[in-house]
Amino acid sequence: MSSFLQDPVDSEAILADIRGLVEIESPSRNAEGVNRVLEAIVSFFEGTGAAYERQQTTPSLGDILRVRCDPTRDEPGVLVLSHMDTVHPVGTLAGKLAYRREGDRIYGPGIYDMKGGLMLAIAAFRRIAHARRRTLLPITFLFTPDEELSSLASRSVIEREAARHRYVLITEPARNGGKIVTARKGVGAFVVRTRGRPAHAGANSDKGRNAILAMAEIALEIERLNDRTRGITTNVGLIEGGTARNTVAEDCTIEVDLRFCDRASAGEMEARILALKSLRPDIETMVTGKITRPPFARAGGVDLIFERAATIAREIGFALESAPLVGGGSDGNFTVEMGIPTLDGLGVDGDGAHTNHEHLLFSSIEPRTRLLQGLMERLE
């Protein structure tokens, strides 16, 4: 019998390690927090024979950690890809999203996206290492600091590393009852700025040109770009503008998120957003941004690795399903674009990613640790 089925899984011990990671707050722009997560991860690999190297990104971001589980083997193997950053600002843990357990649900910032899944993959590998088993292919882990910022600093490292591997496993959270991810939408990120003319709101309001007002109209135009039938969504997620209540606002800035299903709509929507312009007199409009992740299409290689995973899941005792097209992007969008068979959503089951009700399901720890271990042992 294969070891991923045999050895008991100590879900409480794995949860204790997950808790340790969740209690280090690591929003993407907090390099210190992300690097503390990185150091905790290094300690999890102690005694397994793995070799690690740390690579700096930019001064404002945390480092990248690469762990080679079989440092003596050079053939293309399995790359496990995880991110260490979260979207939750420091203070969330002591405030809106304290670590807590309510029945099967365990809450905490980043516990579902994706510290839970990250830890399951390490736990799966440690089970293999402690049993002194040799996997068919060498395993490498890559931990990145900026996935929630579209991986701008780590993308080239991810792509270089993925090119040396035969398969990519991504520990993003599972969807809707444990479904894994075999297709994701692409993502674009844009900044729109309007500049008008400041004036005293009482004395000289006719001389002013209000950048916020102009932007409000542009925001409505962006809302109208949503097209559910084509799977296109846009969202104005951030806004900033003006200097005082009684001043006609000179500047306004918004950040816009775009999601799409295919390359054709990517090009079309990118062009439409870059062409946004206020029609009000004396208002300047500036748009910057681009497509940051290509769509992750379910291609031949993805089907093959999904079938392998489904077989392993059946042996463990559950039916593995893939989620319908997922709106969130991941680093899997890059590796699928490169033609490397990639499975995503292998992390914990739960819900509430990026919200204050983010939680994992304790009952998902055991089967998904076994699934990850099975993939590491069986992929060839």
Distance CA 51, CA 90 (A): 31
Quick one: 31 or 348, whose CB is closer to Zn ion?
Answer: 348
In the complex, minimum distance from the CB of residue 302 to Zn ion, in angstroms, rounded to a whole number: 19
* Three-class DSSP category at 21: helix
Least distance between Zn ion and beta carbon 227 (Å): 26
Q: Which is nearer to Zn ion, 80 or 249 (CB)?
A: 80
Shortest CB 347 distance to Zn ion, Å: 8
- Indicate the residue among 241 and 294 with the shorter CB distance to Zn ion: 294
Which residue, 196 or 328, is less far from Zn ion as judged by CB?
A: 328
Listing DSSP states for 287-347 in one string gives: EEEEEEE--B---HHHHHHHHHHHHHHHHHT----B-S-BSS--THHHHHHTT--EEB--S
- State the Cα–Cα distance between residues 231 and 32, nearest whole angstrom: 38
Would you state the structure tokens that stand for residue 143, as one six-digit string?
């931990």
Kindly tell me which of 92 and 265 has the beta carbon lying closer to Zn ion.
92
Q: How far is the CB of 73 from Zn ion (least distance, A)?
A: 29
Looking at the Cβ atoms of 170 and 211, the one nearer to Zn ion is: 170
Q: Which residue's CB is nearer to Zn ion, number 113 or number 161? A: 113
Site string for Zn ion, 165-184 (x = CB under 5 A): -------x------------
Q: Which residues contact residue 340 at a Cβ distance below 8 angstroms, ignoring those fewer than 6 apart?
A: 162, 163, 165, 166, 167, 168, 301
Residues 112-141 that bind Zn ion (CB under 5 A): 113-114
The 8-class DSSP code of residue 52 comes to E
Cβ at position 366, least distance to Zn ion in Å: 22
Q: Which is nearer to Zn ion, 170 or 371 (CB)?
A: 170
Q: How far is the CB of 322 from Zn ion (least distance, A)?
A: 18
Determine the size of the site formed for Zn ion (CB under 5 A).
Answer: 3
For the chain, the distance separating the N- and C-terminal CA atoms, rounded to the nearest angstrom, is 18
Minimal distance in Å, beta carbon 113 to Zn ion? 4
Q: Which of 127, 174, 126 is nearest to 348 (CA)?
A: 174
Dist CA 236 CA 276 (whole Å): 13
Give the residue among 114, 107, 25, 23 at the shortest CA–CA distance from 328. Answer: 114
Q: How far is the CB of 52 from Zn ion (least distance, A)?
A: 22
Which is closer to Zn ion, CB of 155 or CB of 195?
A: 155
Q: Which stretch binds Zn ion (CB under 5 A): 25-33, 164-172, 266-274, 292-300?
A: 164-172
Give min distance, CB of 326 to Zn ion, in A.
11
CA distance readout (Å), 5 to 62, 124, 252, 379: 36, 12, 57, 16
- Please state the closest distance from residue 253 (CB atom) to Zn ion, in A: 26
CA distance 184 to 262: 10
Q: In what side-by-side order are the strands of the sheet with 64-68?
A: 51-55, 64-68, 139-144, 78-83, 167-170, 342-343
Determine how β-strand 350-351 pairs with β-strand 359-361: antiparallel
Residue 269 or 326 with smaller CB distance to Zn ion: 326
Looking only at residues 270 through 299 of this chain, which bind Zn ion when binding is defined by CB under 5 A? none
Q: Point out the residue whose Cβ comes nearest to Zn ion.
A: 113
Residues 55-114 that bind Zn ion (CB under 5 A): 113-114
Binding of residue 146 to Zn ion (CB under 5 A): no
CB 242 within 8 A of CB 212: yes
What are the residues binding Zn ion (CB under 5 A)?
113-114, 172
